[in-house]
A and B are shown apart, each in its own frame.
Chain A
Amino acid sequence: MKGAFAPFDYISDGICVTDSAFKVLFWNKALENLLDISRKTITGNSIFEFFPEIDSPSVKMRLDQVFTNGMPVIFSNQLHGNLFSPADSQNNYHNIEQHVIVTGMPSGKPDNFFAVFNIKDISELSKKIKEYRTARKHTLLEIENRKKVENILKEALRDKEFLIKEVHHRVKNNLALIGSIIELQKQEIHNIEVRSLLDDLSSRIRSITIIHEKLYKSSKNKYIELKEYLKTLVDEIFNSMVINTENIQVIYQVENLTVKPETAIPLGLITTEIVTNSLKYGFREGIRGILTIELSMDNKRIVTFRISDNGPGFPVEMGSEPLDSLGFRIINALSMQLGGDHSFQNNKGAEHLLTFKVPENHVE
């Protein structure tokens, strides 16, 4: 019978054969190397002398299924540890992690099988799995920590946005208060010229107030939608004027640009000056007035901003030199602030043209 076991020497897994009395009948070469126990030492002896873990009721009960029915039985490493753990070995090298499958081999007697123990060395696999689990745990911990930091940053960002909105709200309120003070002051003044100057001042302040109002109401508290802003601004200027504006039509050809206040505020002030001037001097009673506002940006972020009316135009004696009025000085100063170029001409009415380049980080 022993000859029947000889092919087991050609198998790379450890193979041990016992009879139903647990006497070792065969011990293959792979096991000699794996557990450092020679075939000569163990063959013919009880397997319990070498591996006491096998001599436990729960293991023996299942091995009975092998000896009587030839049923295969699995002993996993997680549930049993190492069944083939040498009893007297102090050397951990030989205490390998293992997965054991026991199959029945007919013994030649009726209802009796030999147990063929197949001992798989899973030390390397187990080590790799442990390393993987550790790496995975660290990675998950890192992800969790990053999520925590992300949440903190999101909260900080929300707080910052709330504070910025609050600042815009307060600036808007303070500017509105200044506007109201100017209005009160105006009521004390009867000189028409001075009153007109105060109106201009109010309009300029109002153009900045609208910016802050839009910034605190908007979800994007860093950007202003120019189309909406210019419409609101022009409406406010029309409402503040004492002249009849019912006969004046405003045509907007404005691209929907979203820019930072650094661009929107000077542009708003320039618009205030030009539109106020047009309303003051550009239109006459009984003639239907047309005010055209055009704004566009090319792919090099060059903005072309044009405001024109169909009024009598600039006085001929003015030529191409700007008037030394406060309005023109403001327009020129703010054009320079934008890094742009302002020009004006008569073209079936008064026409202002401003071109400037928007910095990359000022446009959304």
Chain B
Amino acid sequence: MLTYTKKEIDALQEFAGIGIGRAANSLNSMLQSHVDLKPTNISVFSAKNIEEDISSREMINYSIVEMDYSGNISGTTCMLISKDDSLKMVKLLVGEIPSADEDELDAIRMGTLSEIGNIVLNSFLGMMSNILGMELSYSIPRYVENTIASMYETILKDSIDERAVIKINSSFLVKDLSINGSIIIFLSVDTFLKLNKLINNYLKGIQ
């Protein structure tokens, strides 16, 4: 069964809190605006059950920053924000006036989103690798726009039965703009078990 116990979920929630907190610090020191970033909830499920995750928001187009990692564990991690929200966020962060005039994500704005995703994913994965003592190497982040169903299809391809999904929903508060985003970690079953073991080692270590 690809599940975690409540203790393990709590540990993941804690990692997410620290990692995302670091991302917020990084964004705050870099930008003029105060950015509040918090994980709101975390869920772990088998890739076979992604339908439930897709159904409620299948029509929404997302701005997705993807980064592959390999080493002790391997897989892909993504940051997702709805395309509309991501445009609003970029405009606010770079001081453009949000308006209906230029409601498009062009290459320059995509570069900005890639950087924000890079900060969030690096903080989260960096923290995980440090706490759990993992050695990882990383791909250069990719920016894509997709629906959640297409994203799952592209990343999971034929290995849907052998994958686990950890989804961390998060809220971004930039000035008065509240945005909901997610960090999704795709793991092979093997990686899932290794991560489980590392989490349990960590839990034993702090007892």
Contact = CB atoms under 8 A, between A and B. Distances in A.
Interface in B125-179: 125-126, 129, 136-141
Contact of B108 (A70, A129, A136): A129
7 contacts: A70-B138, A72-B138, A74-B114, A76-B108, A77-B108, A122-B107, A133-B106
A72 B111 contact: no
A79 B31 contact: yes
A125 B108 contact: yes
Given A58-B29, A79-B31, A101 B140 contact: yes
A133 to B, nearest CB: 6
B101 A140 contact: yes
B102 interface: yes
B111 A76 contact: yes
B106 A65 contact: no
Interface of B is mostly: helix
Q: What 5 A-B pairs have minimum CB-CB distances, sorted nearest first?
A: A76-B111, A58-B30, A76-B115, A74-B115, A78-B112
Q: Chain A: interface residue count, which band?
A: 20 to 34
A77 B113 CA distance: 11
A61 B25 CA distance: 11
A69 interface: yes
A132 interface: yes
A334 B182 CA distance: 81
A182 interface: no
Given A72-B141, A76-B115, A129 B106 contact: yes
Given A58-B26, A72-B67, 10 more contacts: A61-B26, A61-B29, A62-B119, A69-B126, A72-B141, A74-B115, A78-B111, A79-B94, A99-B111, A129-B108
Given A79-B93, A137-B102, A71 B119 contact: no
A136 B139 CA distance: 35
Contacts of B129: 69
Contacts of A122: 107-108, 111
Contacts of B141: 72, 74
Interface string B1-28: 0000000000000000000000000100
B118 interface: yes
B76 interface: no
B112 A76 contact: yes
Interface string B97-122: 00001100011110110110011001
B122 A79 contact: no
Given A61-B26, A65-B122, A71-B122, A76 B114 contact: yes
A72 B138 CA distance: 7
Contact of A75 (B107, B108, B115): B115
A308 interface: no
Contacts of A136: 101-102
Interface in A37-91: 57-58, 61-62, 65, 69-79
A272 interface: no
Interface string B56-70: 000000000001000
B90 interface: yes
Contacts of B90: 78
A72 B118 contact: yes
Interface in A252-275: none
Contact of B111 (A69, A73, A74): A74
